[in-house]
């Protein structure tokens, strides 16, 4: 039994519309769901899953915003946001602060294959996720964990994003935005 109620948003994408499929993202989400329900006794109605074709950019952003507006989530309750799917790294807009000129993003199922697509659907950049989680923390407290398991291996050029052939594991905790990233587990504190 947990000392505080836990709520979760679990997102998994194996079948992308414009990019190679993944194997295991849906199973990862099912495994996390099973762990939460069977090992931690989290009631199923506190866990929202968004899978495959339903994991659009709008649905993912709305899922995070919905957590902030749920009346049953009290200030200080634990919140887990879990994403398993493609990730990407792309040049940052000039006005975005970065260390290396690039931003990382998660890729929703409806991400466009070409930068000239109409309508253009981009990934969800780390700065946008940071803002969404910061807004969530302002309403519900900073007991939030963001966990991302993404492949960075999309082998296309002239696309909305470019792959880097690596896996990224990140856990972002909103307090001071501590981040554990990549295989070497470098820690960046913002």
Q: Is residue 128 one of the residues assigned to a domain?
A: yes
In a domain, 102, yes or no: yes
Q: How high is the pLDDT of residue 41?
A: 93
Share of the chain above pLDDT 90, in %: 45
CATH number at residue 160: 3.40.50.1460
The answer to whether position 45 is within a domain reads yes
- How many structural domains compose the chain? 1
| Domain membership of residue 175 as a residue range | 6-189
> Cis peptide before 7, with omega less than 30 degrees from 0?
no
Q: What residues contact 28, with CB distance under 8 A and at least 6 apart?
A: 12, 84, 149
Q: pLDDT, tens digit, for every residue of 105-117?
A: 899 999 888 777 7
Collect the ranges in the chain with pLDDT lower than 70: 1, 151-190
d(CA 61, CA 188): 24
Within-domain flag for 85: yes
Contact 57, 35 (CB under 8 A): no
At residue 146, the pLDDT reads: 87
Residue of 61, 75, 72, 85 lying closest to 144 (CA atoms)? 75
Q: Is position 81 within any domain?
A: yes
15 belongs to a structural domain = yes
Q: What's the pLDDT at 112?
A: 85
pLDDT of residue 46: 97
In 16-140, alpha helices (H): 25-34, 57-69, 126-140
- pLDDT tens readout for residues 125-160: 888 898 899 999 999 998 888 888 776 544 333 233
Residue 1 in any domain: the answer is no
Query: How far does Cα 180 stand from its chain's mean position?
Result: 14
Q: Is residue 169 part of a domain?
A: yes
């Amino acid at each position: 039994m947990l000392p505080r109620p836990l709520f979760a948003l679990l997102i998994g994408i194996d079948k992308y519309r414009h990019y190679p499929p993944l194997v295991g993202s849906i199973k990862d989400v099912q495994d996390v769901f099973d762990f939460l329900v069977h090992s931690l006794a989290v009631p199923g109605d506190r866990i929202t899953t968004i899978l495959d074709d339903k994991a659009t950019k709008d649905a993912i952003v709305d899922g995070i915003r919905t957590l902030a507006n749920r009346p049953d989530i009290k200030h200080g309750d634990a919140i887990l946001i879990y994403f398993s799917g493609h990730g990407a790294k792309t040049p940052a807009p000039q006005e975005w602060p970065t260390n290396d000129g690039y931003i990382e993003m998660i890729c929703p199922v409806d991400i466009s294959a070409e930068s000239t697509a109409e309508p253009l659907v981009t990934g969800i950049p780390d700065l946008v996720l940071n803002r969404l989680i910061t807004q969530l923390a302002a309403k519900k407290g900073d007991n939030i964990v963001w966990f991302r398991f993404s492949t960075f291996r999309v082998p296309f050029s002239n696309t909305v994003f470019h792959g880097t052939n690596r896996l990224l594991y990140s856990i972002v905790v909103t307090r001071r935005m501590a981040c554990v990233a990549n295989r070497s587990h470098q820690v960046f504190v913002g």
